[in-house]
Chain A
């Protein structure tokens, strides 16, 4: 390892270098690198001051999540548990950044020692910055994206994982004190209480939904692509424009439009009444299977175009000779499809099937727009069409059960990641990534 070698280099050299292991930046100053040394030294001082005055209390607060409850009668401010948790996370982030700076200090010192031994002149500060910008271009270029992703993707996920192990939510929101409760939320969902029956009902519907939706979209798209690929079709570009139109229309517009279409005043019910029927509540609370089928159909309308585009791309890579050989051997069209087309397409799209399964498993929009805000009997804050992701939304956004909501999202993560990670890592595209660079 580079780092260990660098430490050895420093240990084998003069006292001037060794001191920078203890006091970051002092070594650089002793070697005459004043500005760089001062920068290292001042960051060391800053972190020490922060830890002494705030950091230690923040970490304590992170562990206890507050001990003094606010008392409006006495006018006592009390502890805000959620802010204490956030400050604790911030403290850990600062410590990690400090460790990274310390490592760069060691590497820098080792480079100085090596240059000094060889008798090369040490770089001035400006020169050092210029060389760094060029040699470490990847670090500078990746810094903004990584900082952004850490703040807006990693931090929320860490926060959510932590929340899953607290009783935050329901009645317990600041100024009340939040506590760590270990696996309490998971127990509530998986083992005991009214949440358990809701969870397993939703989970089984969720799996059925994901499997059905993926199958319908995938084979629908494939069928459409095959239809368009037939030799007798005239004006392919024209026919292909219609699915693309459906694909391009923003999802929320499609979903809201279909909701209007199946509403009481909507055109579907208008024709039912015109022919003497009475209005049907397609998306009502007691709609049951009707709402599920409508959801599946609308999802197909939205998703088949993209799987058609994908299948078209893959079919264009196929070897035509295979079909000629097959038809000379007297294979029927159906047999050609089963024996040649299907294996080829399925084989080359396995990763896509998995991502589409995961996407359908977490398909928030469909039932949020069609039947948002409905709660069925026998379900805890959910309706019979809700998927886990909708339940998560109902729990955490609409009803403030943050801890339980976070636990649900962790369960979703475990399910989807086990599914997709095993396939992704095995997939050729990832393994052989290097050969395509």
Chain B
């Protein structure tokens, strides 16, 4: 085999490309590194850091995060967040899968009108609903309750059923026809045929339904006025510059799991983002 010698222009092109890539990657990586470094700083205030770097390193911020809980009760925030996120993930996934499956595999008169209605509903600024939800919750005395958050998150989930519907659309109808000829009822078909076939999309739905409450800040900051009920997002928002390294430690601790999740799911992410865009 003859090894083709690369021309000078190609070498320059490659060098330029890679140096641009290094710069871009650095821009994306840098704030994260800064947070990680700061979280290991010995003193807590942002004023005590020399620029981007701590003067001396220790694990104090993490220790404070979990044990100095009189003012800022991070373990409790974490517990609340986990509770809300897990419950909403389970409830929301059930609702989304049911909606997507029915919308994909059944024909009934209300199908198109329902699809159009969800389209119009999704056009209202999500925030507009939230002020109203806030007013409603205040008037019915449902403020300061974790389960009211769970209800709102999971009840809103079916609005985003399109990705899941796209998945069910790709499952061949012949399986369902065969099951029907065998005399299986619709409920049985859903449990015995659909659920086993849709494991990947269930996992994907669960994780997105989990990630949303895990990193949402608007609803909790509206509805949770009681300090004991704060989620991590609300709690971290209340840390000021003198508690900066504690903020950094808390952010890293809550950010790492979600980053790992996204890396495991990056295959699905592209599909989810481009669904509806690249069809046709």
Question: A residues within 8 Å of B by Cβ?
Answer: 82-83, 86, 133-135, 137-139, 141-142, 144-145, 148-149, 151-157, 159-160, 163, 224, 227-228, 230, 232-234, 239, 241-254, 256-258, 260-261, 263-267, 270-271, 274, 301, 305-306, 309-310, 312-314, 317, 348-349, 351-352, 362, 364-365, 389, 392-393, 396-397, 402, 405-406, 409-410, 412-413, 416-417, 420-421, 424, 428-430, 432-433, 436-437
Closest to B269 in A: A309
* Complex-state Cα separation, A291 to B151, whole angstroms: 37
Closest to A240 in B: B266
Determine the main DSSP class of B at the interface with A: helix
Per-residue CB proximity of B29-55 to A under 8 Å, as 1/0? 101101100000000011101111000
> Does A250 lie within 8 Å of B158, measured CB to CB?
no
Partner of B278 from the list A141, A241, A253, A348 (CB cut-off 8 Å) is A348
> Does B98 lie within 8 Å of A313, measured CB to CB?
no
Stretch at the interface among B65-73, B129-137, B196-204: B129-137
Total B residues in contact with A, Cβ cutoff 8 Å:
97
Asked if B159 is at the interface (CB within 8 A of a chain A CB), the reply is yes
Closest to B104 in A: A437
> Does A145 lie within 8 Å of B98, measured CB to CB?
yes
| Contact residues, B66-122 vs A (CB, 8 A) | 95-96, 98-99, 101-102, 104, 106, 108, 114-115, 118-121
> Does A153 lie within 8 Å of B28, measured CB to CB?
no
Question: Which chain A residues lie closer than 8 Å to B276 at the CB level?
Answer: 351, 429
> Does B277 lie within 8 Å of A310, measured CB to CB?
yes
* Complex-state Cα separation, A160 to B195, whole angstroms: 38
Question: B residues within 8 Å of A by Cβ?
Answer: 10, 13-14, 17-18, 20-21, 24-25, 27-29, 31-32, 34-35, 45-47, 49-52, 95-96, 98-99, 101-102, 104, 106, 108, 114-115, 118-121, 123-136, 139, 151-152, 154-156, 158-159, 166, 169, 185-187, 190, 214-215, 217-218, 222, 233, 236-237, 241, 244, 247-248, 251, 254-255, 258-259, 261-263, 266, 269-271, 273-274, 276-280
> Does B99 lie within 8 Å of A261, measured CB to CB?
no
25 contacts between A and B (CB under 8 A): A86-B136, A141-B101, A144-B98, A145-B99, A148-B151, A149-B159, A153-B121, A154-B121, A160-B129, A248-B255, A249-B259, A257-B251, A260-B241, A263-B241, A364-B127, A392-B127, A393-B127, A396-B131, A409-B124, A409-B131, A412-B128, A416-B123, A417-B124, A421-B123, A424-B119
Question: Which chain A residues lie closer than 8 Å to B156 at the CB level?
Answer: 148-149, 152-153
* Complex-state Cα separation, A405 to B132, whole angstroms: 10
Report the minimum CB–CB distance from A304 to chain B (whole Å).
9
> Does A233 lie within 8 Å of B18, measured CB to CB?
yes
- Give the interface centre of B51, B131, B152, B169 by most chain A CB atoms within 10 Å: B131
Determine the main DSSP class of A at the interface with B: helix
> Does A253 lie within 8 Å of B236, measured CB to CB?
yes
Question: Which chain A residues lie closer than 8 Å to B259 at the CB level?
Answer: 245, 248-249
Given the known interface contacts A141-B101, A145-B95, A149-B155, the answer about A348 and B277 at a Cβ–Cβ threshold of 8 Å is: yes
> Does A305 lie within 8 Å of B125, measured CB to CB?
no
Question: Which chain A residues lie closer than 8 Å to B102 at the CB level?
Answer: 137-138, 141-142
Partner of A258 from the list B31, B108, B169, B247 (CB cut-off 8 Å) is B31
> Does A309 lie within 8 Å of B270, measured CB to CB?
yes
* Complex-state Cα separation, A351 to B18, whole angstroms: 32
* Complex-state Cα separation, A101 to B251, whole angstroms: 52
Question: Which chain B residues lie closer than 8 Å to A233 at the CB level?
Answer: 17-18, 21
Question: Which chain B residues lie closer than 8 Å to A352 at the CB level?
Answer: 274, 277
Report the minimum CB–CB distance from B44 to chain A (whole Å).
12
Closest to B98 in A: A141
Question: Which chain B residues lie closer than 8 Å to A224 at the CB level?
Answer: 24
Question: Which chain A residues lie closer than 8 Å to B266 at the CB level?
Answer: 244, 309
* Complex-state Cα separation, A166 to B90, whole angstroms: 39
Report the minimum CB–CB distance from A201 to chain B (whole Å).
20
* Complex-state Cα separation, A257 to B21, whole angstroms: 24
Report the minimum CB–CB distance from B51 to chain A (whole Å).
5
> Does B155 lie within 8 Å of A402, measured CB to CB?
no
> Does B125 lie within 8 Å of A86, measured CB to CB?
no
* Complex-state Cα separation, A100 to B96, whole angstroms: 24
* Complex-state Cα separation, A21 to B273, whole angstroms: 51
Given contacts A242-B29, A252-B236, A436-B166, 5 further A-B contacts (CB under 8 A): A153-B121, A159-B132, A250-B215, A250-B233, A362-B125
